[in-house]
Amino acid sequence: MLNALLSHDLPRSRVLAALLVLTVLGLLATPFLFPGSQSLNVAAKVLVFIVLVASYDLLLGYTGIVSFAHMLFFGIGAYGVAIASHRMGPGWDAVGIGMACALLASLLLSLLIGLASLRVKAIFFAMITLAVASACLTLASQLSDFTGGEDGLNFRLPELLRPATVFLEEPLWGVEVNGRLLSYYGLCVAVFVLVLLLLRIVNSPFGRVLQAIRENAFRAEAIGYRVVVYRTVASVLSALFATLAGVLMALWLRYVGPETTMSFELMLDVLLIVVIGGMGTIYGAVLGSVLFVLAQNYLQALMQGAQGVVGSVPVLGQLVEPERWLLWLGVLFVLSVYHFPTGLVGKLREPPVSLRSPPPEGAATGSGRPGAGRPR
C-alpha cells in the first residue's frame, strides 16, 4: 500500500527513509513538542516551501527548464485569496473564488509564457521569465488601490480558522485547541496531498517523457514526442502547484505583500533549496526545505550563543557575530554543494562502493593494452 501511495518511488535508502519519517513526525508534533508562535510559524513555512520547491523542481529538475518567474505564480495565489477576502469579507466563498481566479490567471499566464517563449534557447527563456516577473512585481508594488502597494493587504479568515475560535475548553497536552491549530493541521493535510500528487505526476509516463526531454530534447523529438507541448504542460503544472502554495501561505499569514511573495530573494531561496536537496527528486524538496528554513530562522540564535563562548577571541569573536549569519549560511551552502554535488537525496541514494560496477579493465590501473585509460 505504501508503495502505491508513493507512486512506486520509494526512498531506496534507509537513512533517507528515516529522515523522511522523522520530518513527517516532527512536523505533525511541532505544536505539542515546541509550543509557541515562532516554532509554529517556522513549521508552517517549511510546509509551504515543500510544495513551492517541489513545484519548481518539476520544472527545473525533471524538465530542465530554468525559470525566474516561479514566484510570480506563488504571488498570484497569495494575492488572489487576499484580494477576494479583503473585498468580499471573511468567508469560505471568498477563499474559493480567490483561489479559483488565481488558478485561472496562473493557467493563462503560464500557458502564454510557455507557448511564446519555450521555443527559444534556455538562457533566453530564463531572461524572458525574469523580465515578466520583474514587471509583475512592479505592478504589485504600484497598484495600491488593488494590491495594497508596498504595504500589502491584511485580511480576515473564516471564523473556523481564527485563533479566537476555541474548540475545547481545556488545553490538550498544554496546547489550546483553536482555529490556529486547525489551520496548521489543515496545512499539513493539504501539503501531504499535493506532495503525493506531485510524486504521481513525476513517476507517470508523462514524467518519464519529461526526464527524457531533460536528458536529450533532440532525441525525444526524434522518437515522436512533441517537446514544446510537454514543456508547456510541465510549465503550466508547475505554475498551478506554485499558485496553491501561495494560497496556503496567504491563509496562514493572513497577509500578503510583494516582498513576502514575489521578491527575487525568495526565488533565489527556492533555487538554493532545490540544489541542496537534489534536483529531480521530490524528496529533495522535503529535506532541503527543512534544512534551509531551520538554518534561516535559528542560525542567528545559535551564533548568538556561540558569541557568548568565544566572543573574547579577537578574530573568531567577530566572525560569529549574529549579524554575520548570512555569511555562515553561504558557507554552509558552498560546503553542501561541494560535498553533495547531486544534492542530499542524491548522495543518500548512491549505492555502496561494493555494489558499484567495477571500472573497465585497464581504465584505472593501467593494465591491459598499452595506452589504455589514457586520452588520445
Tens-digit pLDDT profile for residues 25-64: 999 999 988 888 889 999 999 999 999 999 999 999 998 8
Residue 101: is its pLDDT beyond 90? yes
- Angle of helix 122-142 relative to helix 264-277, nearest 10 degrees, comes to 140
Which amino acid does the sequence have at 171?
P
- Asked if residue 36 lies in contact with residue 186, where contact means CB atoms within 8 angstroms, the answer is no
pLDDT band with cut points at 50, 70 and 90 for residue 356:
low
Highest mean pLDDT among 152-156, 349-353, 369-373: 152-156
Indicate the Cα dihedral angle 17, 295, 140, 151, nearest 10°: 130
pLDDT band with cut points at 50, 70 and 90 for residue 373:
very low
- Give the pLDDT confidence of 290-306 residue by residue, as tens digits: 999 998 888 877 877 77
Q: In terms of pLDDT, which residue wins out, 328 or 209? A: 209
Question: Percentage of the chain surpassing pLDDT 90?
Answer: 37
Apex 369 CA angle, 363 and 370, nearest 5 = 90
Q: How far apart are CA 339 and CA 66, in angstroms?
A: 24
Residues 214-226 have a mean pLDDT of: 88
Among the ranges given (55-69, 96-110, 121-135, 317-331), the one the predictor scored with the smallest mean pLDDT:
317-331
Question: Percentage of the chain surpassing pLDDT 70?
Answer: 90
